Amino acid sequence: MSESQDFVSRRTMLKTAGATLGAAAFARALAPVAEVVEELGAEEFLQKHYREMTPAELEVVLRRIEADALENYGAEVHVRDVRPREGVQFGYALNLSVCIGCRRCADACHRENNHDRRTNQSYIRVLEMQQGSFDMEHGDATYDHAVPQPGKYYMPVQCQQCDNPPCVDVCPVEATWKERDGIVVVDYDWCIGCRYCEAACPYHARRFNWEAPEIPAEEVNPDQAYLSNRIRPQGVMEKCTFCLHRTREGRLPACLEACPTGARVFGNLLDPSSEIRWVLANKRVFVLKEELGTRPRFFYFFDE
Amino acid sequence: MELAISIGAVVLAACGPDPDIIAWRAGLGASTERSPEAEAALFPTTIHEPPELTSITTSDGVPGTACATCHSIAGVTPESRATSADEVGGPHAGLRFAHGSNTCGACHASDDPTSLRLADGRALPMREAMTLCAQCHGPQYRDYQHGSHGGMRGHWDRSVGPRERNHCVDCHDPHAPRYPSFRPMPPPRDRVAPVVPRHEGAPRHE
């Protein structure tokens, strides 16, 4: 009798010890998650994918992003969720004959989209190209002399909003996708920062946030959208969104408004009387790296 | 068989381009003009009016001086055969002139300093200068009319809001129309390494 009692109590003791060890190991395994939660806040950690959020859930997220901007940047911003419009397919064309390489488009993008001030980032890279050559590898994006230079032409390159986007195919977590109106977007809160999309893009159009952007409060553009120009966190990818917070409300993109020569043509591909359709029907239009089958929405042309 | 066809259609729809995209590709080459009624229903497109159209900066540096300030005085009439501003003298002295082989009278009406002169001799108000430019620069004017030449601001969708467009003269000095060269906005800087001036043959960043 006493022997069996002994046996039971030893078993209980072993079980208890095992359970304690197990719990400690589990806690240790979870420790990195706890750190992440501490850094992000539980709400953000548990946030759903943009496309799975209900309007009410999204509303909470938008207000949280506004509060974060106020806390981290001292800027009062308004973050909206702007959806694609029915019957609109965006297209962009650029006239290489009139582009003078002034980089005002890149500068407008820099300010409109709340890019890091220190590194002067922008979604647009203007390449200075040798006339007669189409070798983009030898295009110079860092020229800093009077423009236009004799013997050169200028080719601004930004996201081509491909209809067959390789960057979307390679994303392991579906943090980037093509919207109904043709714009390729990123859910910055879902992106894990693996940079596969940056490697996959043949146009070098995606950027990685090595650090959280530095922007003085008074320079923050307060007109923001969840999928476009809200201030991106550190460690995520970003890209041109055709200024969807402007264009989905009928306005022209910031880079186009900044262009002094009118090299840029933007509009609805489904509207036969739009300027973009006139360009496609009447100019000698081409796309970059057509042979890759990416089917860009961004067209280039020369005047005859 | 029917099942196979419907599966085929689904597969095609999944792999092929969006039906919307097929629609616009099929419509390429169709008429791109908007009917006058449709145009009237839209917000207006206004053309910016640069001050150069109605005033000059005099040679002693007074900007915004209306043409009539001097030209309303009896005896001050433009010389149509003058080939340079210095020949005209006065407030126009020192004006840079480089517009082909045109003389003053090619564009300006000699009997009315506030009017331009079309190639057929008709007078044209200064504000409508674009019509005068279009006489010689047809392709540019055509492109302008179709939104592919000259800067603009506002809305691509004019059922939502208006648009403002540049005038020829906003960018091209009518007396020396070639766009001048100037310094561009600063280039992007590398995120990690400090900026080092790039020399011939050095590797490129960004």
Contacts of A130 (CB under 8 A, 6+ apart): A138, A151, A152
Burial of A218 (0-12, 13-18, 19+ CB in 10 A): exposed
**Distance from the first to the final alpha carbon of chain A:** 106
Q: Do A302 and A96 touch, CB atoms closer than 8 A?
A: yes
- pLDDT of B150: 92
Residues of chain B contacting residue A269, judged by C-beta atoms under 8 Å apart: 21, 24
**DSSP assignments along A21-73, one per residue:** HHHHHHHHHHHHHHHHHHHH-HHHHTPPPGGG--HHHHHHHHHHHHHHHHHHH
Name the residue with higher pLDDT: A154 or B38.
A154
Chain B contact present for A119, CB below 8 A = yes
pTM: 0.83
Q: A12: pLDDT confidence band, cut at 50, 70 and 90?
A: confident
Q: What is the pLDDT of residue B19?
A: 64
- Nearest CA-CA distance, residue A289 and chain B, Å: 18
| Minimal CA separation from A16 to chain B, in Å | 53
What's the pLDDT at B94?
73
For residue B156, the chain A residues in CB contact (below 8 A) are 247, 250-252, 266-268, 274
Q: Is the Cα torsion angle A33, A35, A36, A38 positive or negative in sign?
A: positive
Q: Do B18 and A163 touch (CB under 8 A)?
A: yes
pLDDT at B157 > cutoff 90:
yes
- Residue B78's pLDDT is what? 61
Band the pLDDT of B24: cuts 50, 70, 90.
low
- B78-82: average pLDDT: 62
Tokens for A208, please give them. Answer: 């990685």
Cα distances (angstroms) measured from residue A171 to each of A56, A194, A205, A212, A229: 27, 8, 15, 22, 21
**pLDDT the model gives residue B6:** 47
C-alpha A186/C-alpha A192 separation (Å) is 11
Q: Under a CB-based contact definition with an 8 Å cutoff, are residues A218 and A203 in contact?
A: no
Partner residue opposite A210 with nearest CB, options B153, B191, B198? B191
Res B79: pLDDT: 62
What are the backbone dihedrals phi and psi of residue A12, each rounded to the nearest 5 degrees, phi first?
-60, -40
- Looking at every residue in chain A, the average pLDDT score rounds to 93
A219-278 per-position pLDDT tens digit: 999 999 999 999 999 999 999 999 999 999 999 999 999 999 999 999 999 999 999 999
Task: Give all strands of the β-sheet with B45-47 in edge-to-edge order.
Answer: B45-47, B163-165, B152-154
Judging contacts by C-beta atoms under 8 Å, the chain A residues touching residue B191 are 116, 119, 121, 210-211
Rg (CA), chain A: 25
List, for residues A43-96, the tens digit of each pLDDT value.
Answer: 778 899 999 999 999 999 999 999 999 999 999 999 999 999 999 999 999 999
- B149 and chain A: CB distance < 8 Å anywhere? yes
B39: nearest CA in chain A? A273
B183 contacts on A by Cβ (under 8 Å)? 145-147
A144, A249, A281 ranked by CB distance to B32: nearest: A281
Hey, are the CB atoms on A142 and B148 less than 8 Å from each other? no
pLDDT given at position B22: 65
DSSP run (H or E) holding B40: helix B36-40
Bigger pLDDT: A20 vs B77: A20
Please name which of A165, A101, A170, A103 lies closest in space to residue A129, comparing C-alpha atoms: A101
Q: Is the pLDDT of residue B7 over 60?
A: no
Whether B18 has a pLDDT exceeding 70, the answer reads no
| Closest by CA position to B55, among listed B74, B43, B68 | B68
pLDDT digits (tens, 9 = 90+) for B89-98: 677 777 778 8
Q: Which bin fits A65, alpha (ψ -120 to 50), beta or left (φ > 0)?
A: alpha
Would the CB atoms of B149 and A262 count as touching at under 8 Å? yes
B182–A272 C-beta distance less than 8 A: no
**CA of B92: how far to CAs of A198, B70, B85, B119, B169, in Å?**
57, 11, 6, 23, 18
- Whole-angstrom distance, CA of residue B168 vs CA of residue B174: 8
Task: Look at residue B69 in the predicted model and tell me its pLDDT.
Answer: 80
Cβ-defined contact of A247 to B147 (cutoff 8 Å): no
- What pLDDT does B154 receive? 96
Nearest residue of A to residue B164, measured between CA atoms:
A257
A174-204: pLDDT as tens digits: 999 999 999 999 999 999 999 999 999 999 9
- C-alpha–C-alpha distance, residues A128 and B93, integer Å: 38
Q: How many CB atoms lie within 10 A of CB A57?
A: 12
Smallest Cβ–Cβ distance between A102 and the set B156, B184, B189 belongs to B184
Interface of A with B in 180-199 (CB under 8 A): 182
Q: Which residues contact B148 (CB under 8 A, 6 or more apart)?
A: A93, A95, A262, A265, A275, A278, A279, A283
Inspect the interface and report whether the beta carbons of A251 and B154 lie closer than 8 Å.
Answer: yes
Task: Give how far Cα A203 sits from Cα of A76, A181, A287, A298, B54, Å.
Answer: 34, 21, 11, 11, 46
CB-based contact A91:A296 (threshold 8 Å): no
Tokens of B179: 């766009």
**CA of A85 vs chain B CAs: smallest distance (Å):** 12
Among B31, B32, B34, the strongest candidate for a mutation testing the A interface, having the largest count of A CBs within 10 A, is B32
The answer to whether residue A82 neighbours chain B at the CB level (below 8 Å) is no
Interface of B with A in 9-38 (CB under 8 A): 17-18, 20-21, 23-24, 27-34, 38
DSSP 8-state secondary structure symbol assigned to residue A299: E
Tell if the CB–CB gap between B206 and A146 is shorter than 8 Å. Answer: no
Please state, for a pLDDT cut of 70, what percent of chain B lies above it.
70
ipTM, 2 decimals?
A: 0.84
Q: What angle do CA B9, B14, B17 make, to 5 degrees?
A: 100
Token pair for A294? 């990416």
> Can you spell out the DSSP letters for A209-246?
-SSPPP--GGGS--EEETTTTSPPPTT-EE---TTHHH
Centroid of chain to Cα A277: 27
Q: Do A269 and B21 touch (CB under 8 A)?
A: yes
